[in-house]
Amino acid sequence: MPRTVAVVGAGAAGLVAARELLREGLGVAVFEKSGRAGGTWAYDPRADDADPLSRDPAGPGAVHGSLYASLRTNLPRELMGFSGFPMAGRVFAGDARAFPGHREVLAFLDAFAEEHGVLERVRLRAEVLRVRPLGREQGERWVVAWRGEDGEVAEEVFDAVVVCNGHWTVPQVAKIRGIDNWRGKQMHSHNYRVSEPFRDQNVVVVGMGVSGTDIALEISHVAKEVHVASRYSEDRLGKIEPYKNVWIHREVRNSELFSSQTPSPSSSAVAADIILYCTGYQYHFPFLDLDGLTVDDNRVGPLYNHVFPPKYAPNLSFVGLPIKTIVFQSLELESKWVAAVLSGRATLPGEEGMMAAVREHYRQMEEAGRPKRHTHEEHLNWLADQVGEPRLEAWRLEMLEKAARCALLLDEGYRDLWEQDDNSGASASLGVKGAP
């Protein structure tokens, strides 16, 4: 009989992991707690109004999805597909734009899963409650407890588990001194859907990543004022042109900077009705019941190259942790590596060898002054070497870098300017140097 593998989550990571595991002849069951595949790309118009900061991700009103209605990808479709199933040159839900909206991506994932026989392996409304090892003496098999739509809890034993539950659900909220005494409204972008609730409000957006910038500029069309605060804003403080009501400020550390009335011209405070945290998300694995794995300042560890915990390798793995990468390509390469290891085509170092590599990675980060939260970043070329795939083509890296630069321009139109027939002209109009 083929080895059996439980995949937790049917988002992009779980779907491509299932494809690669099936290609290696492994038995696959994909557990998805929602009513459809697609993970974070399945838009849910609901928001958790009773818990706008989503402090309790398991609460009765908790919402899994974090998409806002207008969301478009921040990478062009050339970088969004999988091998043998590209997005470029194809349209799946009527959205042919270079940077498509979330419905196009979801339709792409549906088509991908159906073509590769993955959908029939997905168990919908099957919430994984607990994953625990049986122990080395029993071959390190794994018990998966899950609850079905009928509320019944079942347990199954698998040879391996691949964790693909994503990391865009449990918000990370910035710590601001004295904020508990502030009487205005606070919410996290996890619960942002449309701009209308912000009409005529003074809004402070904390964080200036891609989503934070998108949301701040979208809100500016209806809000009275929008003030963006970020730790990475020193080179662009002040009013942002051509927006008449958007300002950028330094990182907020004290709630005294928020005033209920319009501050005097000499004050450093800003009038604020709402604080909207666009400060990212936490890695969260409430179903894992095991020793020796921690999440510390968003460092999941110890993990050998972001995928295998040395103590439990190879039969426990994680797909989809790295950020600041070409996400779909990273998901695919990680999945190929996991599948090759589980099928026996590839091998891992011993536990101590993997731990030595982890310690060396941590040492290098500390020496470079990089915080723990930056642990899980791009490792595409290393992965490609493990599975015998070509290394990252130069054009892909250049396109990734160009997209990142464009996103920082604070120009709502950069995605559509990208689509001009003369791409170099678009780059020039965007002020991007060295674009492909």
Q: Look at the block and give the residue holding tokens 């980060």.
A: 365
Give the whole-number percent of the chain exceeding pLDDT 90: 77
Angle between helical axes of 102-115 and 12-23 (0-180°, round to 10): 20
Q: 4-35+72-169+281-387: which CATH architecture?
A: 3-Layer(bba) Sandwich (3.50)
SS3 at position 187: strand
SS3 at position 264: coil
Examine the pLDDT at 241 and tell me if it is beyond 90. no
pLDDT value at residue 432: 35
Task: Render pLDDT for 206-231 as a digit per residue (tens, 0 to 9).
Answer: 999 999 999 999 999 999 999 999 88
pLDDT value at residue 232: 76
Topology match between the domains 4-35+72-169+281-387 and 179-277: yes
Please state the domain extents for the chain. 4-35+72-169+281-387, 179-277
Q: Look at the block and give the residue holding tokens 């604020």.
A: 272
Mean pLDDT, residues 276-294 taken together: 95
Mean pLDDT, residues 268-288 taken together: 92
Mean pLDDT, residues 416-421 taken together: 76
Examine the pLDDT at 165 and tell me if it is beyond 80. yes
Q: Token pair of 317, please?
A: 């793995």
- Peptide bond before 133: cis, by omega within 30 degrees of 0? no
Average pLDDT of the chain is 90
SS3 at position 37: coil
User: DSSP string covering 46-109, please?
Assistant: ---TTSTT---TTSTT-------TT-B-SS-GGGT-BTTB-STT--SSS---SS-BHHHHHHHH
Q: pTM of the entire structure?
A: 0.92
For domain 179-277, give the CATH number: 3.50.50.60
The end-to-end CA distance of the chain, in Å, is 49
Question: Among 55-64, 90-99, 187-196, 315-324, where is mean pLDDT lowest?
Answer: 55-64
Examine the pLDDT at 75 and tell me if it is beyond 50. yes
To the nearest 10°, the Cα dihedral for 192, 194, 199, 201?
10
Strands 142-147 and 258-259: unpaired
Distance between CA atoms of residues 380 and 2, nearest Å: 29
- With contact defined as beta carbons under 8 Å apart, do 20 and 332 qualify? yes
pLDDT value at residue 259: 60
pLDDT value at residue 62: 86
pLDDT value at residue 414: 94
